[in-house]
Amino acid sequence: MTSIEAQAQVIALLKHYFTELAFQDLSPPTLAKYKQCLEYFLSWLQGQPLSAGAAKMFLAELRERGYKPRSVQLYYHAIKPFLEFHGIPFKLKFKKPRELPQYHST
């Protein structure tokens, strides 16, 4: 399979997934953000086969680029159900980011 055929197949899978995603109980802003994350992930693939390994490399690259942990987790939560929808198991553990409470001076 050529990279163009692989890319066309991934685009078809994405369209099918977006149809299914529309029926889930997600708010419109969440749906829009998940679509944005998935489109960015698929553009990053550039013809590579869709796999859990590729998703891990993508998330690692986001971390290297300086994305905040919450942003990387957002991408993970968008990509994970997409991969699982297509029969590709994908599970990662994240350290919970520690945040100090806001301090207000008197």
Question: Which CATH number do you get for residue 53?
Answer: 1.10.150.130
Asked whether residue 40 is domain-assigned, the answer is yes
> Residue 70 is part of which domain span?
3-85
The 10s digit of each residue's pLDDT in 77-86 is 999 999 998 8
Q: pLDDT band for position 97 (50/70/90)?
A: low
Asked whether residue 100 is domain-assigned, the answer is no
DSSP assignment of 13-38 equals HHHHHHHHHTTSS--HHHHHHHHHHH
How confident is the model at residue 15, as a pLDDT? 79
The 10s digit of each residue's pLDDT in 33-54 is 988 999 899 889 887 888 999 9
Between 29 and 47, the more confident residue is 29
Contacts of 77-81 with CB under 8 Å at 24 or more apart are: 77/34, 78/33, 78/34, 78/37, 78/38, 78/41, 79/37, 79/38, 79/41, 79/55
How confident is the model at residue 52, as a pLDDT? 93
| Mean pLDDT score, 2-29 | 76
Asked whether residue 19 is domain-assigned, the answer is yes
Asked whether residue 26 is domain-assigned, the answer is yes
Instruction: Supply the pTM of this predicted model.
Output: 0.78
How confident is the model at residue 11, as a pLDDT? 74
Asked whether residue 91 is domain-assigned, the answer is no
Asked whether residue 68 is domain-assigned, the answer is yes
Domain count, the chain: 1
